[in-house]
A and B are shown apart, each in its own frame.
Chain A
Amino acid sequence: MGQALNQGVMQAKLWYAQRISAMVLGICVAAHLAMIFYAIRGGLTAQEILGRTQGNVLFAFFYEVFVLACFIHAPIGINNILQETFPRSGIAKPTACVLGLLILVLGSTAVVGVYSGGTL
């Protein structure tokens, strides 16, 4: 009974975490889409991307918030899908943890990369 209650509370917390991160992502994705449409005109070059992002604290802050919101949102979604599709396999949690770790580490590295432009 106690374990079931704990599981229920955990599920409610994860549900809220996914919704709150979705609210942040709603703003970030809308801005990102607009930026994609602006940036792809005439093709993408490294110089063009770094020209926008290098040394730009606002861009770095925006993208780190974006990465953190993805870090919360995507693993919870993957966990739900795997748990519902393969309920007895036990792969949901480990896969979600690996995905979360990859998003956090690679995402933050990417933010540092486009902010510094390789001058670190």
Chain B
Amino acid sequence: MSARPRLDSRAKSHLSYFAYASHRFSGLLLACFLPLHFLMLSQSLRGAQGFEQSLALTDLWVFKFGEWALVILLAVHLAGGLRLLILEFGPWNGLRKGWIQLSTLFGIACGLLFLYLAN
């Protein structure tokens, strides 16, 4: 696979570039987060008490903010990925710009719902 083609500012201001960039950005951060998430959950091997000690770390505001951001990234990556799958395997074609806006709104909605429920 070669390097990406160079894109000018006109191409980069297109909504589909935003969809591409947000899918990549969210995917990259989620991939970096996954091993840490699994490492935290594997602390359950130490029993409920040991697990609770590790979970106490997540009370720090940095982790709380991280959790919130990751839920948004997960929602954005899910919605963006579904759009891609439907474009590639479904009967639709074209850029489906409305779906890009919808996936952004879905990410925002999930972020707000998280804030509401987590109190």
A residues in contact (CB < 8 Å) with B: 11, 19, 22-23, 25-26, 29-30, 32-33, 36-37, 40-47, 49-50, 67, 70, 74-75, 77-78, 80-81, 83-85, 87, 99, 102-103, 106-107, 109-110, 112-114, 116-120
Contacts and interface: CB of A to CB of B under 8 A. Distances in A.
A117 B44 contact: yes
Given A26-B81, A26-B82, A45-B55, A78 B43 contact: no
Report, nearest first, the 8 A-B pairs whose CB atoms are least far apart. A118-B47, A110-B41, A106-B38, A113-B44, A46-B51, A46-B52, A113-B45, A102-B35
A69 B76 CA distance: 18
A55 to B, nearest CB: 13
Contacts of A37: 113-114, 117
Interface in B88-119: 88-89, 110, 113-114, 117-119
Contacts of B85: 19, 22-23, 26
A110 B28 contact: no
Given A81-B24, A87-B2, A109-B45, A33 B110 contact: yes
